[in-house]
Structure 1
Amino acid sequence: MTLFLTALASVAVGLAIGILLMRAVSKAGLNKDQQKAEQILKNAENQADARIKQAVLDGKTQAHDLKVEAEKEIKERRQEVAEQETKLLRREDSLNFRDQALGQKERQVQDKLQKVTDRLASLDEQERRLQEQIDKQIVVLEGVAKMSSQDARKELFAAVEKQMEHETVAYIKDKEDEAKASANAKAQEIIALAIERIAQQETQERSVSVVAIPGEEMKGRIIGREGRNIRCFEQATGVELNIDDTPDLITITCFNPVRREIARLALEHLIRDGRIQPGRIEEVVKKYQNEIDQEIMKAGEDAIFKLGIGRIDREIVRLVGTLKYRYSYGQNALQHSMEVAYLAGVMAAELGLNQQLAKRAGLLHDIGKALNIEQQEGSHVELGWKFCRKHGEK
């Protein structure tokens, strides 16, 4: 029992000593952490003071820079204002000078206007006095002749008319004989005058179009495998392509100039595009067929508008536009028809006839050349007459 109590006392003493040691160690660690915290706080305060000082310094620097920039801008603005003031002063001086000049001219105009007014008043007075004198002379003459002025005028006119009647008839007869004698010469003179006024240079007839190609490789693409591309193109356009005649050139041959123009435009487009195949060929040919149709209609409308011949059936307008792509005797058919219309109008004006009707007939005289006469009987004159009559022309 004593031993147990002794051991228990030893344990209690050991625990007490341990507790005291732990408290001492803990207190020493706490003091050390407190010192570190104080050091960190002190360092933070020092850094904060340094940053505050740097911020104040930066603020002062920026404020100084802003002040310098503001002073510079103010100086520039003052200089601009001074220049504007100088310009305004010069403009004001110029306006004052112009105002003075205008005032002087206005005074001169007023003086001239006053002189004109005085002159008119003087003329009115002179006219009034002259009329009074004429009235007095008429009264005196009427008293001497025992006849009023109106009766005297009637009697004088009757005598002159009777005297001139025979001379007028003889004069008219002489003029008629003279006109009949010179009618042929006058007609030739009118035609020559009209030709001189309206003559224009003829255009050269063409039945072949030429398109340049970049090289032999493109020529092969145009021909296509087993010639399918060139066959498709010729079938779609109705023309004939000659590829091997001239290097780097393709010749388009066709007597129909509209088809030849469509083929030329379509072939140039395909060469630029590079995609040459049957489907693409038909698409491009159709596109340019529509464009040429629109161009034909516009050409016909422009020709009729320039001639000023009034309203006309649209089918005739389209056929007139087709003449733009046709040639006859080395001259463009549309240009030739317009020249004939101008000539007919000039001759009609010289002869005192209906100019609009003459120009209308001149424009339509070759309209049959625009028709496809291969499958129809008759000359282009007969076919053109039938077509115009069908569409309302007399």
Structure 2
Amino acid sequence: MLNTVITIIAVLIGLGAGALVGFYWKKIVNRRRLHEAHEDAELLKSEAHESKRAIIIEAKEESLRIRTATESELREQRSEIKDSERRLSKREEQLDRRNHNLEIREKTWHSKEKDLELVRNEVDEVLKKQLELLENLAGISNQEAESLLLEKASEEIQHEVTRRYRDYEERIREEAEDKAKSIIGQAIHRLASDVVSEMTIASVSLPSDDMKGRLIGREGRNIRAIEKATGVDLIIDDTPEQVTLSCFDPVRREIAKMAVSKLVADGRIHPARIEDIVSKSEKEISANIWKSGEDAVFETGVRGLHPEIVKLLGKLKYRYSYGENVLLHSIEVGNLAAMIASELGANVKTAKTGGLLHDLGKALSHEIEGGHAKIGADVAAKYKVSKAICDCIADHHDDEPRSVEGFVVAAADAISAARPGARSDTLEHYIERIEALEDVATGFEGVEKCYAIQAGREIRVLVKPDNVDDLMASELARKIANKIEETLVYPGQIKVTVIRESRSIELAQ
């Protein structure tokens, strides 16, 4: 128990001593820290004083620099202001001098104007007197002189206009010819159709002359039956082993040709057999007509035509014009018109259809009175063909078609008809056409001689040089061309060349 108390007391004494020692140690440490803090504060204070002194010095230097720069700028500005004032002063002096000079000039001009007015009046008086003197000397008045001058000027202007018109016309013609040749050449090259060589001959070959008697029959009953059934005249003459069929209707003529050929091949010739063979031939020809029309429509690529139009097209297979098959000609014109319209930017469908149907009236020209162009246009309109196409059909022989496509169809028709080998021509008709062409040219004043060359494609006119000058020659060529267009009918075009030649001859002795 006692030991325990002693131990506790000892522990308490130890704790008290430890606490006292710790207190004094902490006090010493705090004093040391305080002393160090005072030293740091003094150091910072000293540094602050140094920084303050440096900042003040720098500020004074900056202030001095700014003040120096400001004073320098002020001096420059004062100098510029003084220079501006001097310049303004000089300008004011110059303006004063200029105003003074202008006033002097104005006074001078007023004085000169008065002098000029006086001189002008004097000149007018002199001119009036001279004009009166000239009128007296010339014997004509001023108005008459003006009329003469105007007439002379008018003649010179007319001469110049004619010359320029000729130059312009030649240039335009050359350009148009080059373009037309290019388009037509391309179209013809792309078409490249065959030459037509068939002729309008309807004849049937016989195996022997004995067959002629059988065709005539007893008392002519067979030939009468054939003519009645076909509507065709059967001509039996002295031509060996051949009979001739004559009829204006080409379809009837073809039916009769087929029927007679079958009768000759069969050998059984009597009225009942003739009627049967003619009936079969009519059906066969009708089928051929329809097929030919469909083939033409298919070849040209035209769609939407009425069946009656197609049938009439097929009939053209048996129609010829100057030895040219009209159906082949129509197909060729349709293709040519499409090519030309494509090059010109026109309506290709209208031109192609108008070209294919342009001779449609020839299938009915033996049944209806009137020209084939009008007949074809009326029939096409009846079967709901568009007005533009009907106009092409009606206008393809007119000088002034109503549309671009009408011109195209007319040109394609002329090209197809005019190409070599397309049509045959008789000698009489050829001579008549050449003479008519030369008569047109010789009817003009100043023409000495004229010659139609190149099968009537060109006419060369020789004029009298004393009566026709160069400008009149150009005008004469145009008048002859217009006269040919008005009075003659011809395929293609005719070139008119006027030649003016003067010769001077002397003999050296």
TM-score under structure 1 length normalisation: 0.52
- CA shift for structure 1 position 235: 1.4
Amino acid in structure 1 at the alignment position of 2:323: G
Mapping of 1:186-201 within 5 angstroms? 186-201=179-194
Q: Select 1:331's aligned residue among 324, 329, 352.
A: 324
Mapping of 1:125-204 within 5 angstroms? 182-183=175-176, 185-204=178-197
CA distance in 1, matches of 2:367, 2:281: 26
Q: Select 1:224's aligned residue among 217, 223, 226.
A: 217
Q: Select 1:214's aligned residue among 189, 207, 213.
A: 207
- CA shift for structure 1 position 203: 2.2
CA distance in 1, matches of 2:175, 2:199: 43
Amino acid in structure 2 at the alignment position of 1:301: E
Report the 3-state secondary structure (helix = DSSP H, G, I; strand = E; otherwise coil) of the residue aligned with 2:262.
helix
- CA shift for structure 1 position 208: 2.6
Aligned-pair identity (%): 51
2:373 maps to: 381
- CA shift for structure 1 position 181: 9.1
- CA shift for structure 1 position 242: 2.0
Amino acid in structure 1 at the alignment position of 2:210: E
Report the 3-state secondary structure (helix = DSSP H, G, I; strand = E; otherwise coil) of the residue aligned with 1:208.
coil
State whether residues 207 and 255 of structure 1, in contact with CA within 8 Å, keep that contact through their aligned partners in structure 2. no
Report the 3-state secondary structure (helix = DSSP H, G, I; strand = E; otherwise coil) of the residue aligned with 1:252.
strand
Amino acid in structure 1 at the alignment position of 2:370: G
Amino acid in structure 2 at the alignment position of 1:223: I
- CA shift for structure 1 position 183: 5.0
2:385 maps to: 393
1:136-167 per-position Cα deviation (integer Å, ceiling 9, x unaligned): xxxxxxxxxxxxxxxxxxxxxxxxxxxxxxxx
CA distance in 2, matches of 1:206, 1:330: 5
- CA shift for structure 1 position 214: 2.4
Q: Gapped runs of 5+ residues in structure 1? A: 1-177
State whether residues 248 and 366 of structure 2, in contact with CA within 8 Å, keep that contact through their aligned partners in structure 1. no
- CA shift for structure 1 position 205: 5.2
- CA shift for structure 1 position 219: 1.9
Distance change (3 Å), C-alpha of 1:257 and 1:217: same
CA distance in 2, matches of 1:330, 1:274: 33
Normalized per residue, the structure richer in helix is: 1
Distance change (3 Å), C-alpha of 1:235 and 1:190: same
Moved more, 182-191 or 213-222: 182-191
Distance change (3 Å), C-alpha of 1:300 and 1:234: same
Aligned residues between the structures: 216
CA distance in 1, matches of 2:174, 2:245: 57
Report the 3-state secondary structure (helix = DSSP H, G, I; strand = E; otherwise coil) of the residue aligned with 2:243.
strand
CA distance in 1, matches of 2:194, 2:369: 33
CA distance in 2, matches of 1:245, 1:205: 24
CA distance in 1, matches of 2:270, 2:208: 18
State whether residues 199 and 339 of structure 1, in contact with CA within 8 Å, keep that contact through their aligned partners in structure 2. no
1:285-315 per-position Cα deviation (integer Å, ceiling 9, x unaligned): 0100011011100111111111111111000
Report the 3-state secondary structure (helix = DSSP H, G, I; strand = E; otherwise coil) of the residue aligned with 2:268.
coil
1:49-91 per-position Cα deviation (integer Å, ceiling 9, x unaligned): xxxxxxxxxxxxxxxxxxxxxxxxxxxxxxxxxxxxxxxxxxx
1:260 maps to: 253
Residue 229 (structure 2) pairs with residue 236 (structure 1): yes
Residue 272 (structure 2) pairs with residue 279 (structure 1): yes
State whether residues 249 and 366 of structure 2, in contact with CA within 8 Å, keep that contact through their aligned partners in structure 1. no
TM-score under structure 2 length normalisation: 0.40
Distance change (3 Å), C-alpha of 1:185 and 1:224: same
CA distance in 2, matches of 1:374, 1:265: 21
Mapping of 1:283-362 within 5 angstroms? 283-362=276-355
- CA shift for structure 1 position 191: 2.0
Report which structure shows greater RCO (CA 8 Å, sep ≥6): 1
